[in-house]
Structure 1
Amino acid sequence: MTYTSFATIDELQAALAAHAYIADRALTTAIFLALKLNKPLLLEGEAGVGKTEIAKTLARMQGRELIRLQCYEGLDVNTTIYEWNYARQMLQIRLLEAQGAAQNTAAQQSIFGPEFLIKRPLLQAIEARGDQPPILLIDELDRADEEFEAFLLELLSDWQISIPEIGTIRAEVPPTVIITSNRTREVHDALKRRCLFYWVDYPTLDKEIQIVKARVPGASERLARQVVLVVQELRRMDLYKLPGVAETLDWVTALVALDQTELTPQAVEDTLGAILKYQDDIAQVRGQRLNELLKRASVGVA
């Protein structure tokens, strides 16, 4: 049984665009197959190119719950699957003691019932009920330990979680899974084999202008084109952190908030912190280099 409401790739691409996500056909095809085959989609690419936004957009488009697991070093069962509500269990134990039932075996076992369970993202995704399964976003998997990756392999294969005190919980319908990675380390081949894969690259000039128009409709045509031309030039420089699409949108939004309809040297100087996040990068761009970038941008929109 499939849960995509899109009959064709073109229909999905149009729906994404209607929700302000501009995707080329190759990316749209990967998303379409992930929905139709109910297979995890692994998206790799530089930070800020729109990987996480794909899951958010799909959830909005289909009216589905988005369950997000933000990865970091040291993830464990308590933060990803479940943990017991110890404070509530202690209150229950005291209540049982007051009632003289603390030694009763059934009463002791009752404190390990589902009502005392704090459900974390993976258990929430497995346990979800209803016609539309949730979208499970496992964000920045490369930041997690390899041990968590190994556990994820089993989950993606069987779609079940065992809780010793309760038993095995199986998904009635597996969630749609979007996994992202900024490739700070390589994701294991075994996990990649279980997923569809797509590399999300920096957009072309025309595509990035389309993205800006869709996401920041208040920006003038001239401003949108100038900003994207400058950003594309910045990505060719030897910077510590190249600006992603997220930074492009932040910069345009900041300029619109300042009532700018075109790039000026003063406006750029005042807002460089929206596009560049390291002082060494800002220092490298300022001055003559910045003037050259603005001249090229002006020529590009002339």
Structure 2
Amino acid sequence: MTEAVFRETTAEPVTKSVPLSHLSLELGHLYMEDFEAGPDRLREHFAEVRIWVDAVRASAARRSKRPRISTCFLIDDYFSRFSTPAELIPMVLKEAERAGLAIDYLARESACAVADRIELAESVMHRLVESPPPGSYGSRPPVSQTGWLANGQRTPSMSRSALGEVKGWEPPQETAARNHSVFMDVELWSEKDGRRLWSCPFLAAVWQLARLGLLRHLGEPVLEPQEWKSEEFPHDWDRLPPLIKLTDTTAAFSAYRTCTLLPNRFLAVEDAVRLILDQTDVDAGALQQVADRSGGEGIAVPAPVAQRATYVFYEEPGDSSEAEGT
């Protein structure tokens, strides 16, 4: 005899879809010291970015005759808060326009940690699935305890065997190494005065998931853009919505693929982002929606989420040493 199983429909949240462009093109996110350097630094950035924007658009046109491309820009208000939205945003928009560029969507980096009272970074952290290295026996504490995520086996600590013999040094090993290992160990957060400070790579990984339309909270889309019609911006970052739409573009914020234009000093950070994306158990419903819609449009989308994110790193003149925060 088969027993019937009854479930309330509200017990299984439905994953709601989000509109999708073909490409989300990020026109950069810079350190606060870049903004502090003034309009000349921004002018230099956008002038360089413009060269690559044209190339990226041409590449997108090879995949679709009429590609839907939205642009975005991320401002750091998480690690430091230089100036105010009222002073900084008009300067960014003016210099972008001077280079012939329009920023469709502008986001606050703090929104990658918390947006609309939803702990986005915490939510993504709980979706991390570590890739177990060959021969491991669970002796390493989980990422939820350590705050560190690796792409393989760390160098074992020096120890003595049962017979008192000191074991020699062993190298780290990448789990999916091809001939030779490229081992990475990424810090996802630190603790200071009882407060968790999320790292640049981890917030950037949350940002990529948002741009790819893969973030959900109880099935609901998160970090949705709010239209901003006013020419005035608030004097307090907390009064600015997490993500705002600045133009009348019909291209959606989220997209099948992302492309990010950055100075080459961000290369290590974005390598770490891809490692995090490779070990994130993304919402299955959101993934299926992207697969169905891209298939219906005849658009090829890579199955691994990390491969949906592409980059252009440009060389900066002068000193490009990396600073803290982003």
Q: TM-score, normalised by structure 2?
A: 0.20
Q: TM-score, normalised by structure 1?
A: 0.21
Structure with greater proportional strand content: 2
Higher RCO by CA contacts (8 Å cutoff, separation 6 or greater): 2
